[in-house]
Amino acid sequence: MSPAEPSPISQSIPTALTRLLGIRYPIVGAPMFLVTTPRLVAAVSEAGGLGAVPSLNYRKGEDLRAALREVRGLTSAPYAVNLIVNRSNPYREEHARICLEEGVPVYVTSLGSPESLISDAHRNGAKVLCDVVDLGYALKVQDLGADGVVAVGAGAGGHAGRTIPTVLVPYLKSRVAIPVLAAGGIADGRGMLAMMALGADGVYVGTRFIASEEAEVGEGYKKAVLASGPEDILYTARPTGTHANFIRTPYLDKLGTELTWWERALYRSPATKRWAKTLRMLTISRAMRGSAQGGGKAWKDIWSAGQSVGLIEEIKPAGAIVRDMIAEYESALRELPRPVP
């Protein structure tokens, strides 16, 4: 090999996460509502990472079951399913039952208590990772038996926390005994190396895979990812009722960033909070479905994405994205300044 030729990427990068899940590289393709398809999941897993199916993509149980079987038909590698375990999700019990019946090997839980799912998954021999945005919840899910946590920091696409990943990751890592994945602003191997240097056992990458060939979303969504910078990401609670990151559009500017006084009143009352959250989730799901698939109206576009849009310049196959991340990670590692003897 000549000096000008790049070194081949490693066959694996062992970490606590790769050992836990039986994968080659510590990269999880974040499950993105309406973006992550079975083809995308399988492509990430086949490339050595872990693809994850967002169960909310499917309203009917038989459609979710078909999607899981499609993934298994495309890859024999491990994969995951994301379940929203909050009681405002009307599909949570049916989706959990189907996943258990289909032998899903890894679960990622969001927005609620994962207690019953952790118990059921462990009886099935599966592993459970839980999204967390703070230490209190990380300790809670650890006590419930979670196998790892996803530290969702500021700048992550979708529902994200307020603490920047460079603080959240080492903060959690020093206080919990289970693997910690870093989420938020990671789109290339340099970001991966930075998070690993801070103690992360793996990275959780979403927005980068919107600009993948396997993401079956409208061209408008992909073009918005390529054209946007971090300053174009809006952190707002208006669309979903919970703060999340979206690409700024004229519709979101008009909608505003905060809940109205009557929405806040509904959320304060235990008698109306669950009803209000369920109604909002169903309403926003319909609106985002039209926007993501390119069948909505331009003046009502709602596109979820994180601040890493500023690092994304082209659409690639998902497997190439994973391989490029590993090559960039290893190149950045070699190029780090060395102590002077």
- Region of poorest pLDDT, from 244-248, 261-265, 315-319: 261-265
- Indicate if 293 and 320 belong to the same structural domain: no
Say yes or no: 31 and 180 in one domain. Answer: yes
CB atoms within 10 A of CB 3: 4
Token pair of 232 as six digits: 């174009």
pLDDT of 89 reads 80
175 and 126 inside one domain: yes
| CATH code for the domain in which residue 63 is found | 3.20.20.70
The alpha carbons of the chain give a radius of gyration, in whole angstroms, of 19
Residue 188 lies in a domain: yes
Query: Looking at the predicted structure, is the pLDDT value of residue 155 above 50?
Result: yes
Q: What is the pLDDT of residue 78?
A: 98
Mean pLDDT of the chain: 87
Q: Residue 6: its pLDDT value, please?
A: 45
* Residues 123 and 186 placed together within one structural domain of the fold: yes
Asked whether residue 8 is domain-assigned, the answer is no
The pLDDT of residue 176: 98
- Taking 80 as the threshold, does the pLDDT of residue 256 lie above it? no
Residue 227 has pLDDT above 80, yes or no: yes
pLDDT band of residue 271 (cuts 50, 70, 90) is low
Verify that 112 and 259 share a domain, yes or no: no
Beta strands, E only, the chain: 27-29, 50-54, 79-84, 106-110, 127-132, 148-152, 158-159, 180-183, 202-205, 233-236, 244-247
Domain co-membership, 180 together with 261 = no
The total of structural domains in the chain comes to: 2
User: Residue 234's Cα: distance from chain center in Å?
Assistant: 17
For every residue of 12-26, DSSP letters joined together read: ----HHHHHHT-SSS
Identify the DSSP state of 227. H
Residue 304 has phi, psi (to 5 degrees) of -80, 135
Query: pLDDT for 296-328, tens place per residue?
Result: 544 357 788 999 999 999 999 999 999 999 999
pLDDT(73) > 80: yes
For residue 299, give its domain range: 219-307
Four-CA torsion 93, 97, 102, 108, nearest 10 degrees: 40
pLDDT at 63 over 50: yes
pLDDT bucket at 260, cuts 50 / 70 / 90: low
pLDDT, greater one: 145 or 237 = 145
Q: Which of 35-44, 68-77, 235-244 has the lowest mean pLDDT?
A: 235-244
The answer to whether residue 330 is domain-embedded is yes
Are 197 and 244 part of one and the same domain?
no
Those residues with Cβ within 8 angstroms of residue 295's Cβ, 6 or more apart along the chain or in another chain: 218
Let me know whether 209 and 225 are in one domain.
Answer: no
Q: Which of 163, 203, 207 is nearest to 308 (CA)?
A: 207
- Residue 178: Cβ within 10 Å count: 19
Amino acid identity at 261: W
Buried b (16+ CB within 10 A) or exposed e, 236-270: bbbbbbbbbbbbbbebbeebeeebeeeeeebbeee
Residues linked to residue 158 through DSSP beta bridges, in sequence order: 245
As a whole number, mean pLDDT of residues 87-103 equals 91
**Percent of the chain scored above 90 by pLDDT?**
67
